[in-house]
Structure 1
Amino acid sequence: MKVLVALKRVIDYNVKIRVKPDHSDVDLTNVKMAMNPFCEIAVEEAVRLKEAGVATEVVAVTVGPKAAQEQLRTALALGADRAIHVDTSVQTDAPVESLAAAKLLAKVVDAEQPGLTILGKQAIDSDNNQVGQMLAALTGRPQGTFASEVVVDGGTGEERLKVTREIDGGLQTVALPLPAIVTTDLRLNEPRYAKLPDIMKAKKKPLDTQTPDELGVSVSSGLKRIRVEPPAERQGGVKVGSVDELVDKLKNEAQAL
């Protein structure tokens, strides 16, 4: 079974975000970029399926600028066999919106025909949590979102996927026929670190570059960004002497009651 794993280039989660002086966007000057943490979990799960003998090939794919090839090489170092880069810089320098990314990934899925497609449930830059669900709708494949456990069951003669997913009421297990789409949650696994020998080997693994024009998809934005503001600074707390004083502050100052 071929596993396709999608990943995204984002600002490293350890970096403190800065907004441009004109409030037009986030300042990316000399900012460290990395693979989205949820995507790291997706790559790890795909590699584990291959190590378990369930998957025969792991293909990493990303949608983004030329610099995103760095994250693809990281995925190759972690165990992916080959990579596909959909270079959007030929159409735009702006970030690609969720629907356009899903349409591009759908074209890749149609061409590769993987038995399983794994994505992080969301990216830490936009936090939209949309691409996996959109991709499932566009390809007509069943989906298991927020996966905390993924098991391929072939005991009945036909491979099916059992996905344990986290919901508000606890855990829910769904059985999906393959091919399917899965989005990963934090508790699915603990991603490994790339070793130096694997990083060197990744430089020789195949990386194919495609463009949105070749795939017949436009990535032009339908949204207009008005203004970007940093989050408000958290104010220091205060001590109260009694329950009555606490209730008064909550009612009259915080207006929470």
Structure 2
Amino acid sequence: MTVHDPGEPDRVALRARDVEFDWSSLPMHWIPGEPFATHVVNFLHLVLPEGERWFVEVFKQALPLIRDDRLLEDVRGFVGQEAMHAESHQGVLDHFDAHGLDTRPFVAQVAWMFRKTLGDRPHGGRRAEAWLVERLALIAAIEHLTAFLGQWVLDARELDAAGADPTMLDLLRWHGAEEVEHRSVAFDLYTHVDGGYARRCRTMVVAIAVLAILWVRGVRFLMAADPVLRGRRKPRWRDLLRTGRLGLTPSYWQMLRAIPAYFRRSYHPSQHGSTSQAVSYLATSPAAQAAEH
């Protein structure tokens, strides 16, 4: 993960940006000749719509707990951005479903996890607030991981060299740039309402475990359901090592190196990532420019 430059802006006003993506010409393997790398990234489309709708719902429940006007403004900007992310990735799922890659069985499992396992529970008072704080801590941990992925895709010029579909790259980089832009909000909100170090560490362990299991299962599902592959290729660990070396997916070692910082007591998300790089991309994103016109 890119280390924070002291010359970076301390804060930017967060706002949801209108975007417009045309998926009509998206190939099934949008990284040419690389179905495994394509589906490693496609996994994000399986989980992000439901996951980010869950973020939005949890953050809306936390609004009455916020006693800082600046943080309140940031949280509202975060909510607007996450809602737009969910709808944009949903468009990719709709395209896949219409072109022979039926994602609905896996997405239904993801929806069950967010709506039932991580959804509201039938109790009130202090227990309800404790469950809300637990989920805020989990979102802060997940946002550390998504900020890493956002910075990775902004830096991954290897995808351009490999001929990756430009519309998909724009979606990933627009979303990734906003993840970098708002990378501190979830952590600041958790710190504001609780900030417990043990809870912070515990929820990161949970986030890593759940994400790893989901990612492995999601890639296996996509490779099996791929109408071009027809089950002829199965994902292998050496594929992840190979595509990581090529820069087409986050490498195993990049992901491992991104995690320990979160366990430092002095950690803050602003210490990692480039806000100026994110804002620069957002100013030139083809999808954002198309929506403006």
Q: TM-score, normalized by length of structure 1? A: 0.31
**Per chain length, whose mean CA-contact separation is higher, i.e. which structure has more relative contact order (CA < 8 Å, sep 6+)?**
2
Greater per-residue helix proportion: 2
Larger Cα Rg: Structure 1 or Structure 2?
1
Greater per-residue strand proportion: 1
Q: TM-score, normalized by length of structure 2? A: 0.28
